């Protein structure tokens, strides 16, 4: 009883903090937990979990793609996709700051035995011309270029979004050069909402797409990899190899389906919140510059007066959490556990800094 009360108190205290560190910190809502409680489950390694089968079918249909597989994380969906698209000693083309290269523990080398050709993009986005220039010639000295990977929205680009036309041009380059095209869509729904696009626009242009349910959509765990039937069949094999085959995973899959059915349109609120915070920041003299805020991520740099770590520490005194992502750079991410009141409080604190 005492223990229970302590846990409750701890949660209460934690809920007082305004946590902008990432959109991964969201906790399942009571409505989501109700769905979880009633989820029908089975053994998903046998293909018998009805909640997972529903989730995979729903997602594939949403994107107009043939098939889908549920995985424990976005790192795993990306890594499986790269593994399925490549052979060892081949080359993956991606942006310098992309998650698959920077934040997946060297997985491209470890899992796929591939090397990477990095492109310096514009806030995380690359162009068809850059892709063309990055493709290796058919020369035995050179690694064979086989895969291009894009990130939308681009995390280190401050949640920047691709224009559909620019993706179409990259698709054409891939077709002309027999390259596959993968999308790290950890925050694809933020782009879809911000740009008023349709999931099927993306489904028709990419060979594979990874989406995260555990970011802005607010599910506790999980990502979905989408692609052609044969591709997903192969992906299931590698998911098992990587230890990602789960049993009654419908418990978390049901939360993921709930998130897709209820939490997409509301991302617009997160975008508006981010815009308001960026506006408050823009008036401060210690801010050097702010990346244009397109979705739910604000990346800004501070003048030497205020090292990033010091600013983060200052905010923490007011129970506002952000992350210093570089010596002089701070990242703030809005999400569904951030209320309009919290945004107002944050803007007031910023004004007083
Ligand atoms: C979060 C994220 C992923 C996947 O991360 P996991 O924590 O493994 O689910 C992939 N790409 C980007 C851009 C991300 O932000």
| Contact indicator for 56, 224 with CB cutoff of 8 Å | yes
Residue nearest to ligand 1 atom 2, measured at CA: 186
Q: Both 196 and 276 in a single domain?
A: no
Mutate to test the pocket of ligand 1, among 155, 159, 209, 259 (most ligand atoms within 8 A of CB): 155
pLDDT of residue 27: 95
Q: φ and ψ at 47, to 5 degrees? A: 75, 20
217 Cα to the center of ligand 1, angstroms? 13
Ligand 1 atom 4: residue of nearest CA? 74
pLDDT tens over the chain, length 353 residues: 555 555 555 555 455 899 999 999 999 999 999 999 999 999 999 999 999 999 999 999 999 999 999 999 999 999 999 999 999 999 999 999 999 999 999 999 999 999 999 999 999 999 999 999 999 999 999 999 999 999 999 999 999 999 999 999 999 999 999 999 999 999 999 999 999 999 999 999 999 999 999 999 999 999 999 999 999 999 999 999 999 999 999 999 999 999 999 999 999 999 999 999 999 999 999 999 999 999 999 999 999 878 899 999 999 999 999 999 999 999 999 999 999 999 999 999 999 99
Same domain, 234 and 347: no
Q: How far is the CA of 301 from the centre of ligand 1 (A)?
A: 23
Q: Domains in the chain: how many in total?
A: 2
User: Are 316 and 277 within one domain?
Assistant: yes
DSSP secondary structure of 213-249: SSSTT--SS-EEEEE-HHHHHHHHHHHHHTT---SST
Among candidate residues 197, 230, 262, the one where a domain is terminated: 262
Q: 54: which 2 tokens?
A: 């529903």
DSSP H helical ranges for the chain: 2-16, 30-37, 50-63, 74-85, 99-102, 107-112, 128-134, 164-176, 188-194, 199-203, 229-241, 250-262, 267-282, 308-317, 340-352
**Candidate of 94, 215, 216 to mutate for ligand 1, largest count of ligand atoms within 8 Å of Cβ:** 215
Q: What is the pLDDT of residue 305?
A: 79
Distance 211 CA to ligand 1 centre (A): 9
Does 96 share its domain with 121? yes
Q: Are 286 and 271 in a shared domain? A: yes
pLDDT at 16: 82
Residues 251 and 333 in one domain: no
Cα 286 to averaged position of ligand 1 atoms, centre (Å): 30
Pocket of ligand 1 (CB under 6 A): 73-75, 78, 99, 151, 155, 184, 186, 212, 214-215, 223
Closest ligand 1 atom to the C-alpha of 104? Answer: 8
Q: Are 158 and 231 in the same domain?
A: yes
Do 38 and 184 lie in one domain? The reply is yes
Residue 184 CA: nearest ligand 1 atom is: 11
What distances in angstroms separate CA 245 from CA 61, 73, 210, 242, 257, one per listed residue?
A: 22, 12, 17, 8, 18
Hey, which residues does 208 pair with through a beta bridge? 182, 227
Q: Residue of the nearest CA to atom 14 in ligand 1? A: 186
| Separation of CA 296 and ligand 1 centre (Å) | 15
Q: Is 76 left (phi over 0), alpha (psi -120 to 50) or beta?
A: alpha
- Distance in Å, CA 8 to ligand 1 centroid: 30
Question: Of the residues 215, 236, 262, which one is the last residue of a structural domain?
Answer: 262
Q: Say if residues 39 and 207 touch (Cβ distance below 8 Å).
A: no
DSSP β-ladder status, 180-185 and 323-326: unpaired
- Give pLDDT, residue 4: 57
Task: Answer yes or no: do 41 and 19 share one domain.
Answer: no
- pTM over the 0.85 mark: yes
Asked whether the beta carbons of 281 and 158 are under 8 A apart, the reply is: no
Range of the domain at 159: 30-262
Where is the domain boundary, 234, 262, 290? 262
CATH assignment of the domain containing 313? 3.90.1150.10
Task: State whether 200 and 132 are in the same domain.
Answer: yes
95 and 216 co-located in one domain: yes
CATH of the domain at 144: 3.40.640.10
């Amino acid at each position: 009883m005492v223990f229970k009360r302590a846990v409750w108190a701890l949660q209460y205290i934690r809920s007082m903090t305004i946590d902008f560190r990432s959109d991964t910190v969201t906790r399942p809502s009571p409505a989501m937990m109700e769905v979880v409680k009633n989820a029908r489950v089975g053994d998903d390694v046998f293909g018998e979990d009805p909640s997972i089968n529903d989730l995979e079918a729903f997602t594939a249909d949403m994107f107009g793609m043939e098939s889908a597989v549920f995985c424990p994380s976005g790192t795993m969906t990306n890594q499986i996709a790269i593994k399925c698209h490549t052979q060892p000693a081949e080359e993956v083309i991606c942006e310098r700051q992309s998650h698959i290269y920077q934040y997946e523990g060297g997985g491209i080398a470890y899992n796929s035995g591939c090397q990477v050709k990095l492109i310096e993009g514009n806030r995380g986005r690359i162009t068809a011309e850059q892709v063309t220039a990055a493709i290796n010639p058919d020369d035995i000295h050179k690694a064979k270029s086989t895969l291009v990977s894009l990130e939308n929205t681009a995390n280190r680009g401050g949640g920047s979004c691709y224009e559909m036309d620019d993706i179409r041009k990259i698709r054409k380059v891939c077709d002309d050069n027999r390259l596959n095209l993968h999308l790290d869509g950890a925050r694809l729904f933020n782009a879809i909402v911000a740009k008023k696009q349709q999931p099927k626009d993306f489904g028709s242009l990419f060979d594979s797409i990874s989406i995260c349910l555990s970011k802005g959509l607010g599910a506790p765990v999980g990502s979905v990899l989408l692609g052609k039937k044969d591709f997903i069949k192969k992906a299931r094999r590698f998911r098992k190899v990587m230890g990602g085959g789960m049993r009654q995973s419908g418990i978390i899959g049901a939360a993921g389906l709930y998130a897709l059915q209820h939490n997409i349109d509301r991302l617009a609120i997160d975008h508006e919140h981010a815009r308001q915070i960026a506006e408050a920041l823009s008036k401060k003299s210690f801010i050097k510059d702010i990346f244009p805020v397109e979705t739910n991520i604000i990346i800004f740099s501070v003048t030497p007066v205020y090292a990033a770590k010091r600013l983060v520490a200052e905010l923490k005194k007011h129970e506002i959490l952000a992350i210093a992502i570089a010596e002089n750079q701070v990242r703030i991410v809005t999400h569904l556990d951030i209320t309009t009141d919290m945004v107002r409080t944050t803007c007031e604190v910023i004004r007083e800094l």
